[in-house]
Amino acid sequence: MTERKQDVARRAEKSPLTTAWDYAPAPEARDIVHIQERYGLFIGGKFVEPLSGERYTTIDPAREEPLSEVAQANKADVNRAVKAARGAFDGPWSKLRPSERAKYLFRIARILQERSREFAVLESLNGGKPIRESRDVDVPLAAAHFFYYAGWADKLEYAFPNRRPRPIGVAGQIIPWNFPLLMLAWKIAPALAAGNTVVLKPAETTPLTALLFCDVVRQAELPPGVVNIVTGDGRTGAEIVAHPGVDKIAFTGSTEVGKAIQRTLAGTGKRLTLELGGKAANIIFDDAPLDQAVEGIINGIYFNQGHVCCAGSRLFVQESIYEATIAKLKRRMRTLRVGDPLDKNTDVGAINSKAQLEKIVSLVRSGVEEGAELYQPPCKLPERGYWFVPTVFTNVAQSYRIAQEEIFGPVLSVLTFRTPDEAIEKANNTPYGLSAGVWTEKGSRILAMAQRLRAGVIWANTYNRFDPASPFGGYKESGFGREGGRHGLEAYVAMDDA
Ligand code: NAI
Ligand code: MG
């Protein structure tokens, strides 16, 4: 018997009546992925040893076990990657017939689909997210992005009529750890479709699916140097930003680093798009279908452990339905299954890193100290690994840190309102403006709210829905520029009038 089966059996013995309905473990096979002991940098179509000579260990956050040794690229490594990207741009890639470029993108999309199980398992292993999400959301959406932008590759003149769209050159792309493969797809697919070449850096805690993607690039026989992947921490990112041979920077991550990048790039003429943090309002009116809304609240904040820039982290409930909503919400929270990311029944997986867990713990502590009321469902957490119980705070004042700052964890702050005007005023009372949710039966109210909410993406009677055809991006400190859709293409083309 495995350890977990023994555990289930032990619990069943102790209390047969209450555990009779326990889920049996349903672990996804881990051995479908082959993880190398160590990785180099993917430059010019092959893995090369880092000139820095430095490596660090990447781990499985659910078990705190090492998975592999990954390169920490330095300035010389970044320079090498940018040169390879420039060579590929000046060489074959920018001169290729657009319909040929499209074929490569279609090929990548199909290979991602064929190898989806491998990618899903690796994403969950290295990042801690539940396999259900990596399998059903991250990987299919990543493939969908390549399919979508493949379709645009030979239609740029139709996307931007009479403006002579052309590629920009070398794009430097820096991505975070919450959706490692999906963010890679968001960055690489439109860049390649428009005829650019890229140097991409995955986040330090989640490099493995990006390194597996290099294998897809080789399988698709993409010309060497079109896609280069350099691993490392923020220092590597800063080298990409500062490199004079990079024509465009695309960044997704913290507002703090986004601001630093913007300062570095001021006056250089390099193009920039920033997708930063958020503190979204999820607004429930008293005519909303309450059971669906509760599902939307749960999905809005506990999806991907709340490591979501557009998470519905501030819940606004109309006063007349406050009690009923909170009662239903707490009941639903008690059914959430927290634990092994590779178990197919898991709803909430591991926190991505120790640092992120510490940030969540300290913000939650501040919520208690400032006077909010905390609720956590009973929940047995694994002994090793980084975990945080799904949490809801009621009695929250707008001034509390938990109502102001991005927690980026499974923590919801509940506030109330009486009128639509009050909801708008409170929802917009944030330095961010990435997303929002509105739950109501009235179509006219949805449109009226959407017009007045200062947020880039607004969901109505749903939450956290994504589609490659739909542009995504923020207002204010959530950044600028859009990813996805035709808008996402615009960031990667030079035009006569821009
Ligand atoms: P971060 O912004 O430091 O990291 C994101 C990416 O930027 C990583 O690839 C990192 O290596 C790189 N980076 C770090 N410093 C850099 C620099 N000076 N120049 C260029 N690249 C640099 O975010 P971190 O520290 O992982 O998380 C801190 C907080 O940021 C989170 O708690 C969350 O609130 C927010 N965040 C928001 C994300 C979003 O999707 N909007 C994603 C990740 C974090
Ligand atoms: Mg950081």
Cβ of 406 less than 6 Å from ligand 1: yes
Please tell me whether residue 35 adopts helix, strand or coil conformation. coil
> Is pLDDT of 19 > 80?
no
Cβ of 237 less than 6 Å from ligand 1: yes
Q: Kind of pairing, strands 493-494 and 166-167?
A: antiparallel
Per-residue confidence band for 23, with pLDDT thresholds at 50, 70 and 90: confident
What's the 405 CA to ligand 1 centre distance in angstroms? 15
Residue nearest to atom 26 of ligand 1 (CA): 176
Report the pLDDT value the prediction gives residue 13, as an integer from 0 to 100.
Answer: 56
Residue nearest to atom 40 of ligand 1 (CA): 309
Residues with catalytic function? 275, 309
Average pLDDT rounded to a whole number, residues 179-184: 98
- pLDDT tens digits for range 67-94: 999 999 999 999 999 999 999 999 999 8
Structure tokens at 155: 């239609």
Task: Give the domain ranges of the chain.
Answer: 3-27+278-460, 41-276+476-493
Please tell me whether residue 233 adopts helix, strand or coil conformation. coil
41-276+476-493 belongs to which CATH class? alpha beta
Cβ of 408 less than 6 Å from ligand 1: yes
Report the pLDDT value the prediction gives residue 22, as an integer from 0 to 100.
Answer: 80
Looking at the chain, how many residues does it have? 498
Strands (E), 302-434: 314-318, 373-375, 391-394, 411-417
**For a substitution probing ligand 1, which of 126, 243, 257, 353 has the most ligand atoms within 8 Å of its CB?**
257
Average pLDDT rounded to a whole number, residues 46-52: 98
Cβ of 264 less than 6 Å from ligand 1: no
- pLDDT tens digits for range 93-110: 988 999 999 999 999 999
What's the 336 CA to ligand 2 centre distance in angstroms? 29
CA 315/CA 294 separation, integer angstroms:
11
> Is pLDDT of 347 > 60?
yes
Cβ of 176 less than 6 Å from ligand 1: yes
Average pLDDT rounded to a whole number, residues 15-34: 80
The Cβ of residue 136 has, within 10 Å, a number of other Cβ atoms equal to 12
Q: Please list the residues that pair with 27 across neighbouring strands.
A: 343
Asked, colleague to colleague, whether 3-27+278-460 and 41-276+476-493 share their fold, the answer is: no
Residue 64 backbone class (left: φ over 0; alpha: ψ -120 to 50; beta: rest): left
Helix locations, 91-230, DSSP H: 98-114, 116-127, 131-133, 139-152, 156-159, 180-193, 208-219
Ligand nearest to the backbone CA of 78: 1
Report the pLDDT value the prediction gives residue 98, as an integer from 0 to 100.
Answer: 97
Contact 402, 365 (CB under 8 A): no
Contact 388, 409 (CB under 8 A): yes
The DSSP secondary structure of 247-304, one letter per residue, reads: -EEEEES-HHHHHHHHHHHTTS--EEEEE-----EEEE-TTS-HHHHHHHHHHHHHGG
Report the pLDDT value the prediction gives residue 21, as an integer from 0 to 100.
Answer: 73
Residue nearest to atom 15 of ligand 1 (CA): 234
Contact 422, 416 (CB under 8 A): no
Q: Which atom of ligand 1 is nearest to the CA of 175?
A: 9
Question: Would you state the CATH architecture of domain 3-27+278-460?
Answer: 3-Layer(aba) Sandwich (3.40)
Average pLDDT rounded to a whole number, residues 124-138: 98
> Is pLDDT of 272 > 60?
yes
- pLDDT tens digits for range 287-339: 999 999 999 999 999 999 999 999 999 999 999 999 999 999 999 999 999 99
Q: Which atom of ligand 1 is nearest to the CA of 356?
A: 32
Contact 197, 173 (CB under 8 A): no
Report the pLDDT value the prediction gives residue 496, as an integer from 0 to 100.
Answer: 83
How many angstroms separate the first and last alpha carbons of the chain?
65
Report the pLDDT value the prediction gives residue 414, as an integer from 0 to 100.
Answer: 98
* Chain position carrying tokens 């909170």: 326
Cβ of 479 less than 6 Å from ligand 1: no
- pLDDT tens digits for range 50-71: 999 999 999 999 999 999 999 9
What's the 354 CA to ligand 2 centre distance in angstroms? 13
Contact 480, 265 (CB under 8 A): no
Report the pLDDT value the prediction gives residue 165, as an integer from 0 to 100.
Answer: 96
Cβ of 242 less than 6 Å from ligand 1: no
What's the 178 CA to ligand 2 centre distance in angstroms? 13
Cβ of 203 less than 6 Å from ligand 1: yes
Chain mean pLDDT for the chain = 96
**For a substitution probing ligand 1, which of 181, 254, 255 has the most ligand atoms within 8 Å of its CB?**
254
CA 460/CA 440 separation, integer angstroms:
8
When computed from its CA atoms, the radius of gyration of the chain, rounded to whole angstroms, is: 23
> Is pLDDT of 9 > 60?
no
CA 470/CA 197 separation, integer angstroms:
23
Specify the amino acid at residue 28.
E
Structure tokens at 49: 């040893």
